[in-house]
């Protein structure tokens, strides 16, 4: 999981710091935001102090209607020492009581000119992206005909060489050697390359090459949704490999299961073409056409017709 501080949010959205600069290094742990409602009326029993607090026109108008002593008491209870920060939207004026309460508890008090709903939407998207669960897998990620294909296999089996051949055939490299995978939402995984090795390929005997420099900016992309996993393994004579495509293996990465194809490697097999066809076949299946099932269905019909003739 990523790490976000209040300072990162201030920088990203160019927020005005009203007070509480000493608390800018506070870590934000959840992507959910909170607009206090019942708390402003005095009910703090279930106040989620781990969330960023937003105060807009409605909240401030209600607080202004309260007697001065009550307003001060609500502000002090609202500025819990564990709060990441409080943000005022629409560029509204901030009551002095709130500034004093934030200062006393060292809670960062921020302000933006954006409307509350718009700012909440942008901030939520930002937090969900940077706080999403992440993992790193040893492999290669390529964009083949619009399908994000994650290529796995033992070191030296030919993953990078296959990726190079795919790039030469017009497909896009996303990451080589280390693929950083982020779970953006349920059943959605996005892969990218670490900054240090972005656009680079390691080819044994040749060394490290920069794909974007050699093949142009149209041969790479920064990130891609992962749809298919292909595992390369050395050909094993004792193993029975799927010849029809009816056996559907799955691979779990974090909380998401992806279709998995195991491709045996032996001299003479063009892995780039096989992966290219696998990606196109995946797209056909997504559109409702499964060649293997169609074949089995026609085979069954042919057998039935032969039995009827007998």
Of 132, 129, 135, give the one whose Cα is nearest residue 194: 135
Active-site residue, selected from the candidate residues 57, 138, 168, 298: 138
- Residue 21 bears catalytic tag: no
- Residue 159 bears catalytic tag: yes
The CA-based angle 125-131-134, given to 5 degrees, is 120
The CA-based angle 228-233-236, given to 5 degrees, is 135
- Residue 239 bears catalytic tag: no
159 annotated binding-site participant? yes
218 annotated binding-site participant? no
156 annotated binding-site participant? yes
154 annotated binding-site participant? yes
153 annotated binding-site participant? yes
Largest CA distance in the chain: 97
Of 118, 112, 76, give the one whose Cα is nearest residue 97: 76
| DSSP bridge partners of 185 | 188
Active-site residue, selected from the candidate residues 47, 177, 198, 269: 177
Active-site residue, selected from the candidate residues 51, 74, 130, 159: 159
Tell me the residue length of the chain: 310
Q: Are 179 and 198 in contact (CB under 8 A)?
A: no
Active-site residue, selected from the candidate residues 46, 239, 243, 252: 243
160 annotated binding-site participant? yes
- Residue 138 bears catalytic tag: yes
SS3 95: coil
202 annotated binding-site participant? yes
Residues annotated within the binding site are: 153-160, 202
Residues annotated within the binding site for Mg(2+) are: 160, 202
Residues serving a catalytic function are 138, 159, 177, 243
Residues annotated within the binding site for ATP are: 153-160
């Amino acid at each position: 999981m990523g790490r976000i501080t209040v300072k990162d949010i201030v920088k990203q959205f160019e927020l005005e710091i009203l007070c509480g600069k000493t608390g800018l290094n506070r870590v934000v742990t959840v992507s959910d935001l909170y607009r206090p409602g019942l708390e402003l009326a005095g009910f703090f029993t279930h106040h989620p102090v781990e969330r960023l607090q937003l105060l807009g026109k409605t909240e401030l108008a209600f607080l202004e209607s309260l007697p001065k002593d009550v307003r001060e008491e609500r502000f002090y209870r609202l500025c819990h020492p564990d709060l990441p920060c409080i943000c005022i939207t629409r560029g509204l004026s901030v009551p002095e009581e709130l500034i004093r309460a934030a200062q006393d508890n060292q809670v960062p008090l921020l302000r933006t000119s954006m409307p509350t709903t718009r700012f909440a939407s942008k901030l939520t998207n930002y937090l969900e992206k940077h706080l999403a669960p992440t993992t790193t897998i040893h492999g290669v990620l390529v964009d083949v005909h619009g399908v994000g294909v994650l290529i796995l296999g033992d070191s030296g089996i030919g993953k990078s060489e296959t990726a190079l051949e795919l790039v030469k055939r017009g497909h896009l490299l996303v990451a080589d050697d280390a693929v950083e995978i982020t779970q953006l939402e349920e059943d959605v995984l996005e892969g990218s390359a670490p900054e240090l090795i972005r656009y680079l390929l390691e080819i044994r005997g040749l060394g490290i090459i920069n794909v974007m420099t050699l093949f142009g900016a149209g041969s790479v992309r920064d990130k891609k949704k992962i749809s298919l996993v292909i595992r390369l393994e050395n050909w094993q004579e004792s193993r029975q490999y799927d010849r029809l495509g009816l056996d559907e293996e799955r691979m779990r990465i974090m909380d998401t299961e992806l279709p998995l194809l195991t491709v045996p490697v032996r001299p003479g097999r063009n892995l780039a073409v096989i992966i290219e066809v696998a990606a196109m076949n995946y797209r056909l299946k997504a559109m409702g056409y499964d060649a293997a099932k169609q074949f089995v269905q026609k085979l069954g019909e042919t057998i039935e017709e032969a039995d009827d003739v007998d």
